[in-house]
Amino acid sequence: MASPLHLKQAKAPNAMIEAAQEKTEDAAGQGAVNTRHERARDFEEARKALLARPGFSVRAQIYLGFALVFLFTLITVIGLLMSIYEVDHKVRFLETVNQYLIEIEQARRFEKNYFLYGTNLKDGLENVSSANRILDSNKEQILSITGENVYNQMLSNLKEYEVLINRLLALGDAWDGSEAHAKEALTDEVREQGQNMISLAAELALKERQALTKTISRARRMHIYFLLALLAIMTVNSFILARRVLDRIEQYKTFAQRIASGDYTLITPKRSYRDEFTELALAVNQMVLDVEAREELLIQSHKLRAVGTLTAGVAHELNNPINNIMITGHMFLEDYESTDDEERMDMMNDVVNEANRAKAIIANLLDFARESGSQLAPLDVAEMLKDTIALASNRLKRSKINIEFSSTDKLPRVHGDSQQLRQVFLNLILNAIDASQSGGNITVTVLPADEPHYIAVKVIDYGTGIPKHILGSIFDPFFTTKSQGKGTGLGLSMSQGIITKHGGQIRVFSQEGHGTTFTVTLPVTTFPAKITEETHMSPLY
């Protein structure tokens, strides 16, 4: 007998075969189809949820911001144009009033001269008619500022002044008698009228000048407020826009890191609106599905490589039962006549048992090699480890490595994919074989982990150990220390991916010259309740 495991396998071939058959039955591919189908459904749900939100694109926000700024600028420009128009209007009015005043003042100068020297009163009338022309030609302008009452009053003042002067002229040069009294009274009236006209016009001009100053200072304030408001609008809009875009970029950075670490959760809506990043989210989700599918292919091809390295060993392993059958069969034929019934029964029993042994060897290999997607089931890790060690038993035997397997009783099951987990264990065991020297030992243990609700599988070799400087790289894809063509450098990277997917961890502890321990921790299944109860009853917990 080669190893304790070998012994077990030979002793209970029927149990092994039954187990193998069971595995074949529940692996009809249904699980794989379901999982793939479920993923597609998740993807579709995420897509719908992402698209169901009302749209508010970054582009729309940019356009809206520009439109707002433009609208604001437009209003302000219109306001400024109106102010300029108003200023212009007032300046023109002031000019008109000035001209008017000049004419009146000129008329009054003639009036004064007349009173003093009795000259040129007629000339004053010309100024009056000039003032009248000014009022007349700027009627609309004056009306728009002073209103009809003031304009009419100015007009009537002018008319009355003209009438008074004419009356004064009609009196002639007589300065005596009753006419002189009348003339004196008229003179006072003319003076008063002239004074009134000037003060009215001056008052108007003053008022308008004040209004002009006000308009100008209002326009100045408007400039400043407009600038400040524009600055505020643009700052707020840029800030919101920048934060929106940068936050998303940060978010996608996190997604990328998450996906790189093997977490293939699909992106689901986080904001209440949809935008350009929604398209990105859909594309990333699609990518995640594709990456997942590719990874499955990669795992499968890597698995087939492992099968390739095992096949030689398995063929050798198969030769033993076949040889036994052949020898027994030939001797049965040769000695049929001389053999008694008991001996014949013994021979045929050997033949049947050896045939079963061959079948179990093949079933174990095929079960491992068979292509299938992820199928989750509660798994007995100790059983899986025994099967895996059986698969590698010939490699162990040929390398003359003794493997010791121990497990704690009544360990809870883990929820996972038996093929993928066995691939991880096989990988670790084959690595341990490669690291060990001929005649060395490998220890495989399964026990409750330090953390509650986890179990730990330890694969320990006492070989060369891993040098410190490469210890950090061993889980990197395509990292290998084996010669070209011997290793893909994907084993540990893939194992880590598989274990991460199962919610567990792979840790490594290595001392150069003393060996290496790989520890795989896996969360135990929380159902069915019975198993959990057993767990609590177990003194080890």
Partner 1 sequence: MSNLDVLLLDDEPIVGKRLKPALAKVGCEVEVFQNPVEALKRIDEKFFDVVVTDISMAEVDGMQVLEHVVAKNNATKVIMITGFAMMSLAREAMEKGAFDFIAKPFKPDDLRAIIARAAEALGKPIAFEAGESA
Q: Does residue number 298 form part of the binding site for partner 1 (CB under 8 A)? A: no
Q: Kindly tell me which of 60 and 327 has the beta carbon lying closer to partner 1.
A: 327
Q: Residues 86, 189, 276, 350: which binds partner 1 (CB under 8 A)?
A: 350
Q: Kindly tell me which of 290 and 335 has the beta carbon lying closer to partner 1.
A: 335
412 neighbors 532 (Cβ within 8 angstroms): yes
Shortest gap between Cβ of 443 and partner 1 (angstroms)? 17
* Binders of partner 1 in range 321-340 (CB under 8 A): 322-328, 330-331, 334-335
Q: Residues 139, 316, 410, 468: which binds partner 1 (CB under 8 A)?
A: 316
Shortest gap between Cβ of 315 and partner 1 (angstroms)? 6
Q: Does residue number 28 form part of the binding site for partner 1 (CB under 8 A)? A: no
Question: Degrees (nearest 5) of the Cα angle 243, 246, 251?
Answer: 115
Shortest gap between Cβ of 417 and partner 1 (angstroms)? 33
What gap in Å lies between CA 348 and CA 311, rounded to an integer? 28
Binding segment toward partner 1, per CB under 8 A, in 166-174, 187-195, 211-219, 311-319:
311-319
Question: Degrees (nearest 5) of the Cα angle 529, 535, 537?
Answer: 105
Shortest gap between Cβ of 357 and partner 1 (angstroms)? 10
Angle between helices 139-146 and 148-170 in degrees, nearest 10:
120
In terms of Cβ atoms closer than 10 Å to its own Cβ (0-12, 13-18, 19+), residue 176 is exposed
Nearest alpha carbon to residue 269 among 47, 445, 115, 104: 47
The letter for the amino acid at 190 is: V
What gap in Å lies between CA 395 and CA 317, rounded to an integer? 10
Nearest alpha carbon to residue 414 among 299, 491, 520, 492: 520
Q: Does residue number 349 form part of the binding site for partner 1 (CB under 8 A)? A: no
Shortest gap between Cβ of 429 and partner 1 (angstroms)? 17
Shortest gap between Cβ of 347 and partner 1 (angstroms)? 8
Q: Does residue number 344 form part of the binding site for partner 1 (CB under 8 A)? A: no
**Per-position x/- string for 211-250, each x denoting binding to partner 1 as judged by CB under 8 A, each - no binding:** ----------------------------------------
Q: Residues 159, 207, 398, 486: which binds partner 1 (CB under 8 A)?
A: 398
What gap in Å lies between CA 426 and CA 424, rounded to an integer? 5
Q: Does residue number 354 form part of the binding site for partner 1 (CB under 8 A)? A: yes
Q: Does residue number 404 form part of the binding site for partner 1 (CB under 8 A)? A: no
Q: Does residue number 395 form part of the binding site for partner 1 (CB under 8 A)? A: no
**How many residues at the interface with partner 1, by CB under 8 A?**
25
Q: Does residue number 402 form part of the binding site for partner 1 (CB under 8 A)? A: yes
- Residue 504 corresponds to which tokens in the numbers above? 């567990």
What gap in Å lies between CA 355 and CA 333, rounded to an integer? 18
Q: Does residue number 538 form part of the binding site for partner 1 (CB under 8 A)? A: no
Radius of gyration of the chain (CA): 54
- Residue 369 corresponds to which tokens in the numbers above? 């090699």
- Residue 476 corresponds to which tokens in the numbers above? 């990197």
Question: Token match 């009306």: residue?
Answer: 143
β-bridge pairing 402-407 and 441-448: parallel
Q: Does residue number 207 form part of the binding site for partner 1 (CB under 8 A)? A: no
Q: Residues 320, 441, 464, 505: which binds partner 1 (CB under 8 A)?
A: 320
What gap in Å lies between CA 395 and CA 410, rounded to an integer? 30
Residue numbers at the binding site for partner 1 (CB under 8 A): 1-3, 315-316, 319-320, 322-328, 330-331, 334-335, 347, 350, 354, 397-398, 400, 402
